[in-house]
């Protein structure tokens, strides 16, 4: 861990808060901080309360802190409200970390992200889509408004860290859910990364080099956008000025504008906006997660509107109405709560969003019909938030529980995708 020790001695000149889960990565980092002689360490532990082992992990972390005379701060998350567990948990964790930093007056947060984490993050974002900064993964030093995140283990693999904790008799806990390859990140971890490592033992360092290069380009773009942004964005986006810029700059400006009011924005939303402002229509609106964009001739204005959402449908989407849309392997159910699709007839990825005024659906053996009329006929009262399943071309595939489109197959037809719409607790049973 010489590289980590050098990094800590070089950059840490004040007290630190360590984000400690109790796993081998954070416990190894804890040990390195102690060996580096950092005087003021505070341990911040989050108990997500989703695994039976989590309480014991909190106890173990606390005991290690008592042994080393390190203050222990605990945060228990007792409930989750959103449809994206990982995003909500991350937000709550970092809010907690920031509160601990403020409590002790420290300016450094150290996390145990390592080289394998960086590889996973980059690959994950390449597959899911991201910004230039996003494709770079994360930096070993990340500046925030009031503090700095340091990642001293970024030069090490998971195998090296495991060897370190075992050789130094450091206690640690194992999260068995990390072995579940139903999660996309775990698929990368257990099935993809070993291939890269087989080709090159130092693959993680090549990814780090790649990340550093992307960050340099991203810094260059951001510095340029910093200069032009005030002239383009003033009570909205001046479309004519924006479209004079290079495509990469256009992406950056739009993303900045959207992210200022909604944290659920990603590259697919940026592309939707670009298509919107490049069209011949001089007036109109476009719905994005949590916001509505309105175009009036040469001006694009954004305002918040509660109830809007747009989710990418991979294997599972949890909706705020208590229902889920889930890919399943088989079912005898042929009701409107099930939709069977032929992957050759639709464009991926699939999305779930709320109803928009003007939505129309092609009904099998029938005609193109207004979704609003179908809602009236079906006595759907909460139309604004009702989920709509569509493909990347904008084809509405299914009104879950209400109506199937021409794309939905009968049991006699060819299909290779089955979607189920049901209450979350019913599915879990």
Judge if 178 and 261 occupy the same domain: no
Judge if 42 and 174 occupy the same domain: yes
Q: Which of 137, 140, 138 is nearest to 123 (CA)?
A: 137
Tens digits of per-residue pLDDT, 109-128? 999 999 999 999 999 888 87
Give the CA dihedral 248, 346, 378, 292, nearest 10 degrees.
0
Q: Model pTM?
A: 0.66
8 Å CB contact between 46 and 175: no
Tens digits of per-residue pLDDT, 345-399? 999 989 998 888 888 999 987 778 999 889 888 888 778 889 999 998 889 999 9
349: cis peptide before it, omega within 30°?
A: yes
Q: Which residues pair with 341 in a beta bridge?
A: 417
Enclosing domain of residue 360: 310-428
Last residue of a domain, one of 286, 319, 351: 286
Judge if 261 and 328 occupy the same domain: no
Kindly state whether residue 399 falls inside one of the protein's structural domains. Answer: yes
Last residue of a domain, one of 200, 215, 248: 200
Where do we find the tokens 């070089």?
A: 10
Kindly state whether residue 213 falls inside one of the protein's structural domains. Answer: no
Instruction: Walk along the chain (429 residues) in steps of 10 and give the mean pLDDT of each run.
Output: 93 93 96 95 92 90 96 90 70 93 96 96 85 89 93 96 96 80 76 93 96 95 95 92 94 89 76 87 75 85 70 83 87 91 93 88 86 88 85 92 94 93 64
Judge if 169 and 245 occupy the same domain: no
Last residue of a domain, one of 250, 271, 286: 286
Beta strand residue intervals within 48-133, DSSP E: 72-76, 108-110
Q: Which of 171, 179, 14, 21 is nearest to 111 (CA)?
A: 21
Helix runs in 38-84, H state only: 54-67
Kindly state whether residue 207 falls inside one of the protein's structural domains. Answer: no
Paired tokens of 175: 């999260």
Kindly state whether residue 124 falls inside one of the protein's structural domains. Answer: yes
Task: Say which CATH number the domain at 91 has.
Answer: 3.40.50.620
**What is the number of domains present in the chain?**
3
Judge if 23 and 90 occupy the same domain: yes
8 Å CB contact between 338 and 418: yes
């Amino acid at each position: 861990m010489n590289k980590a020790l050098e990094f800590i001695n070089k950059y840490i000149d004040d007290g630190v808060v360590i984000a400690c889960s109790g796993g081998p990565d954070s416990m190894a980092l804890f040990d390195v901080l102690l060996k580096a002689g950092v005087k003021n360490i505070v341990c911040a532990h989050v108990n997500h309360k989703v695994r039976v082992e989590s309480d014991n992990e909190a106890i173990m972390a606390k005991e290690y802190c008592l042994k080393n005379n390190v203050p222990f701060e605990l945060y228990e998350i007792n409930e989750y409200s959103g449809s994206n567990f990982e995003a909500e948990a991350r937000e709550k964790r970092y809010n907690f970390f920031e509160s601990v930093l403020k409590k002790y007056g420290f300016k450094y947060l150290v996390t145990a992200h390592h080289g394998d984490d960086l590889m996973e993050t980059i690959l994950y974002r390449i597959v899911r889509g991201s910004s230039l900064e996003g494709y770079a993964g994360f930096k070993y030093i990340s500046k925030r408004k009031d503090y700095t995140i340091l990642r001293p283990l970024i030069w090490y693999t998971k195998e090296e860290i495991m060897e370190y904790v075992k050789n130094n008799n450091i206690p640690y806990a194992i999260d068995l859910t990390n072995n579940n390859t139903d999660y996309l990140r775990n698929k990368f971890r257990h099935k993809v990364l070993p291939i890269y490592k087989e080709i090159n033992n130092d693959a993680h360092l090549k990814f780090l080099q790649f990340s550093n290069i992307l960050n340099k380009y991203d810094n260059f773009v951001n510095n340029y956008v910093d200069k032009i942004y005030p002239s383009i964005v003033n009570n909205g986006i001046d479309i004519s000025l924006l479209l004079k810029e290079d495509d990469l700059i256009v992406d950056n400006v739009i993303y900045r504008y959207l992210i200022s009011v909604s944290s659920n924005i990603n590259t697919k939303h940026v592309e939707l906006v670009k298509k919107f402002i490049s069209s011949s229509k001089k007036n109109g609106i476009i719905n994005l997660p949590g916001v509505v964009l309105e175009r009036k001739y040469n001006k694009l204005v954004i305002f918040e509107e509660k109830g809007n959402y747009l989710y990418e449908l991979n294997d599972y989407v949890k909706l705020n109405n208590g229902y889920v849309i889930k890919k399943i392997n088989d079912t005898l159910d042929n009701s409107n709560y099930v939709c069977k699709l032929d992957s050759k007839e639709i464009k991926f990825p699939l999305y779930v969003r709320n109803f928009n005024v003007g939505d129309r659906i092609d009904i099998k053996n029938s005609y193109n019909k207004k979704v609003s009329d179908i809602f009236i006929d079906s006595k759907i009262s909460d139309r604004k938030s009702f989920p709509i399943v569509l493909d990347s071309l904008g084809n509405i595939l299914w009104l879950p529980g209400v109506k199937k489109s021409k794309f939905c197959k009968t049991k006699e037809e060819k299909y290779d995708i089955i979607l189920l719409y049901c209450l979350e607790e019913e599915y879990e049973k």
